Structure 1
Amino acid sequence: MKNKIIWLLISMVLVQESKTSCAEWKQPETNCVNDFANQTNSLAKYDNPEKLVQEKLDVFDKRMEDIRRMIELALLSQTEQNIKRNVDFLESLQNVEHQLEKIKVQEAQWDHNLDNHNNLTKASSKKVNSDCIAKLLNIEQLLKEKFEEQEEKLKQKLEIQNKITKSLWQKQIDNIKPRIDSMVKSDSLKIIQEKFETLQKAMETQISNSITQFESIKNQMQDNVENFRKIGLKYYYIEQSENLSWYGSFHKCLTLGGHLVSITNLSEFNAITTGLQPHKHYWMDVNDLGTEGLYLSAATGLQATYLNWHTDNPGHNITNHCGELRFHENKHLMYISDCNDKELFICEFYYQ
């Protein structure tokens, strides 16, 4: 009975081992069933079950050893492949490191070249600055010496001039002093005072007459203002029939209480020329009678502030010195003509 129980247990173990072995090695189910039948038949042949179990265990251990070796071989193969892959990777890594080293060497070379360039630039800049500073100091020294020289010369001239002036004043005082002393002792001082009072009265009378004459002229000019009309911001008299020379026109404007028109800007120019007759020319105050090419205003005596010439004018003609508004190409523009030509004229009122 005991042997049957042991045999049954061994059979169960073998069955389980057989199933496990078949599952691991992926054998077909029919092979596993056949193995189990063969093993069962083998057990029946043995009278000693323990021996049978030992034999099966030895077979199982051998099979496990084979499996272990197969796994080790597989692992060894996989390890060799990994090592090979790692070697390739290491070679690539070494190539990258080699390239990085080259790049570092190139960067170091560039930095070195840049430092050399900067040093050369700084040295050149320092040299240029040093030269400039030296030149400036030299110029400053020369100017200082020149100034001191001029100052010394001027000081010497002033001292000489002061001495001469002082000497002249002293001579004048020496010449006048005897006369003053004699005048004080005599009645000459009283005579001089009387003459001074007479002269003062005459001057007062002359000033009074001048004021009266000025008021008369002013009133006359105010009466003449009726002959002027407002154009823009000023009053003008535009002669429409009488033709005079520039000099005659100048005098005529004075008798009317004004002067030949003095145009000072474009706005005045446009306002005046708009009302002029076409194909007529009008004298104005611009002239270069004093200096050839220097055009002054007869009203102010100063250089004209506004000029608007015709094309190719003014020319250099020794006989043409007086300015006019000449009609040409359907518009009036400034032109230099012979002062003796007979033209119309424009007067500007003195008091605006």
Structure 2
Amino acid sequence: MHLYREIYIVILLFASNFVYAEDGMLDELSETKSAELCYALTKHILNYTNSLDNELKAYKVINHTQHYQLDQLSEKMKVSEEKLFNSLSNLTNTENQLQSEREKVEVIEKELSKIQLKLNNTENQLRTTHKKLNLTEEKLFKIQIQLKNTEKSLYETQFKLNNTEKRLQSEMKLVNETEDTDLLYEKCEKREKKFEKIGDKYYYIEKSEQLTWFDAAMKCANWNSHLAIPQTDLEWTNLMPKLSADDRYWIDLIRLGNRKFFLSETTGKTLKLDKWLPDEPNNDYKMENCAEIRFGEGLNDAPCEFLKYFICESNNEYGYNCKS
């Protein structure tokens, strides 16, 4: 660098002397002036070269710093590239795993579709089976109703036969006993007074034992009486206060066979009074063929097989063909 500086100085001195020589001024200049001029020029050039040298040093420092920063940045880029490469590798592995999982999901979805199809078929089969079961249940229910009606008809027929037999036995007994009137009166005097006179009729109101309608009718027949059947408003009014609240009692009204109305089993006639509760008789479930009386309310139809209290009616207080 110093060599360049000396060359610059010599060139400048030579150039300046050459300029003054051309103008004819060399003889006039003294050595001092020439030295001063050379010194000034040299100083100016030295200052300029020093400035250039400082700038070059500063540039080198900056350049060194930038090279260092570039090296650091290069290292960081290498690290980043490695990380990016690893990330890309991981991403590739993840994509491969996802593809594998997608394939598994597709397989599972296909299996689920098959299972869903089987479930749909099973549901359809179950619906069909359920419909068949409902039809079968309906048929069974109808058969049960037919069996109950048949059983009821048989029971009614048996009841009538038994009742007829009891009446015949009673009549035969009565015929035998009427041969000796004194004996009849004597027996009547010894009998328990089972029936209570209520108005113009005699009634026995059962309040402890509950029976089916047919068993209740047989019980009354055994006492030479029958289930009660109030025929007038007065009889109804007289009987009602004797009943217990919330209790229900069988009376002599029944619907036999396919008849749409109730008849007295004793008289074979319908009830003259309209004492049925609202919307009754409704023959619910096609099984309500016997009549019950409710305290303070009225008449209702009910299944004959239900157990209830009952009311017997007689022509005397003994329940026998005795004169009161």
State the TM-score, normalized to the length of structure 1. 0.37
Q: State the TM-score, normalized to the length of structure 2.
A: 0.40
Greater relative contact order, per chain length (Cα 8 Å cut-off, separation 6+): 2
Q: Which has the higher helix share?
A: 1
